[in-house]
Amino acid sequence: MPPHRIITITMMTDMDVAAFLRLQTWLSPAFPTGGYAYSHGLEWAVECGDVTDGTTLQEWLADILRHGSGRNDAILLRHAHCAGSDHAALNDLAAAIAPSRERRIETLDQGTAFIAASTAWDPPDLPSPVAYPVAVGALAGRHGVAVDTATAAYLQAFTSNLISAAVRLVPLGQSAGLRVLAALAPVILHVADLSRTASLDDLGGCAFRADLAAMRHETQYTRLFRS
């Protein structure tokens, strides 16, 4: 007789489901943040030959998630989610740690557009312009979206947007892009989990090649993206 297995079933309440649906809407590619216009320096990485296929794209994005802005955004989002957070101070910090002019514009423009588009959900009073992870974290916290769910979903949306840019830039087929996204799921979950115990003192990064790509994109001769 095969051994018995214990299966734990977690039931979602109506409130949980409603919060999850809101989060899906806010992080949908159709939500008008203008994210499609930014490549996070990936356009330069493709031009110089750092990213040429699905394998190199996966490695590039894994480094950004673990050691770059993906990790930083997860930390900022969690702190912005907390009730009583000083969103103005968090926003100043988010803008200050952006490694280039275009990266700073990218996070502030998307965050400001996010809050402008979320007026139907009564967003909190935030500075303008506001960094994207601060805006998402503050709105999610205001509406009872679980912070773990919000953090993981934000990183998934961030990754999906950059894969979409790579599909157009490399060029990379849709199927190859989806394989990269599937392969990065453990990285996304790991980064989201590590950010649980991170303080603002843990902000920083060592994704130097990606940061240099963002800087060099500013003077790239032919560009499809704003960053």
Regarding pTM above 0.75, the answer is yes
**Which is higher by pLDDT, 33 or 18?**
33
- Residue range 143-157, pLDDT digits in tens: 999 999 999 999 999
Inside any domain, residue 196 = yes
Rounded to whole angstroms, the Cα distance separating 39 from 93 reads 22
Inside any domain, residue 51 = no
Tell me if 149 sits within 8 A of 20, measured CB to CB: yes
Inside any domain, residue 130 = yes
**For 83, what's the count of Cα atoms within 13 Å in the CB-facing half-sphere?**
5
Inside any domain, residue 163 = yes
Inside any domain, residue 78 = yes
For residue 184, give the amino acid letter: L
Q: What's the average model confidence in pLDDT over 163-177? A: 96
Number of domains present in the structure of the chain:
1
Q: What is the CATH number of the domain that holds 120?
A: 1.10.4190.10
Identify the domain containing residue 141 by its residue range: 57-217
- Residue range 104-158, pLDDT digits in tens: 999 999 999 999 999 999 999 999 999 999 999 999 999 999 999 999 999 999 9
Tell me if 108 sits within 8 A of 95, measured CB to CB: yes
Inside any domain, residue 222 = no
Inside any domain, residue 14 = no
pLDDT of residue 16: 84
Inside any domain, residue 169 = yes
For residue 201, give the amino acid letter: D
Cβ neighbours of residue 151 under 8 Å, at least 6 residues apart? 74, 77, 78, 192, 195
How deeply is 207 buried, as exposed, middle or buried, from its count of CB atoms within 10 A (0-12, 13-18, 19+)? buried
pLDDT of residue 14: 55
